[in-house]
A and B are shown apart, each in its own frame.
Chain A
Amino acid sequence: RKEVEQDPGPFNVPEGATVAFNCTYSNSASQSFFWYRQDCRKEPKLLMSVYSSGNEDGRFTAQLNRASQYISLLIRDSKLSDSATYLCVVASGGSYIPTFGRGTSLIVHP
């Protein structure tokens, strides 16, 4: 089983839709969780950290489920500009080295 797994997609949704991605991780000792966004041929950019209690930033909501070892990202009211690849990032406790998932591709169309 891979350390961090994501559905590669693509998720093809119309503007205004709500879309959710999940990411599963294999190491139960993982403590740090993040979502990054990467546009085509660009660098990854931090979207949000994921906290145990869940957190929200505008149209984006991130949640952590430790029992089932997955994190999720919910995007409400999708915009064309949300089209990108979303990377799930997980790091084990005490480790400075994060593991990146291969990403989920989102395409928002008019």
Chain B
Amino acid sequence: NAGVMQNPRHLVRRRGQEARLRCSPMKGHSHVYWYRQLPEEGLKFMVYLQKENIIDESGMPKERFSAEFPKEGPSILRIQQVVRGDSAAYFCASSGRTSGRANEQFFGPGTRLTVL
């Protein structure tokens, strides 16, 4: 299955701990997006990355959140010192074409983060 992969699928953390979410894009895709979805809410854009570059992080909280997409390996979304309000589903999506505008995105199954 060459789809978008995310792990872990479920993550439980206590307040103050770090959460590390991983995303491997679809084979051949070099564009990765991270979204957050709260219960009964829509998807909120967080960050858009290409290999080794953060292209747009306008949706990312200024503190505690960071993202990377290294030359080798998956993209990582890191949340430091988690708080209860960070509990949500975090989806990663990948896209392959570079036509100069937004293209179809393919989503991973998501990581459901619960902060106790």
| Interface residues, chain A, with chain B CB atoms under 8 Å away | 31-32, 34, 41-46, 49, 87, 91, 93-103
Contact = CB atoms under 8 A, between A and B. Distances in A.
Nearest to B110: A43
Contacts, number: 56
Q: How large is the interface on B (under 10, 10 to 19, 20 to 34, 35 or more residues)?
A: 20 to 34
B61 to A, nearest CB: 17
Interface of B: 31, 33, 35, 41-45, 48, 55-56, 58, 89, 91, 95, 100-110
Nearest to A90: B102
A93 B110 contact: no
22 contacts: A31-B101, A32-B101, A32-B102, A34-B104, A44-B91, A44-B107, A45-B107, A46-B104, A46-B106, A49-B104, A87-B42, A91-B102, A95-B102, A96-B101, A96-B102, A97-B33, A97-B45, A97-B48, A98-B45, A99-B45, A102-B41, A103-B42
Most chain B CB atoms below 10 A, which of A31, A43, A99, A100:
A43
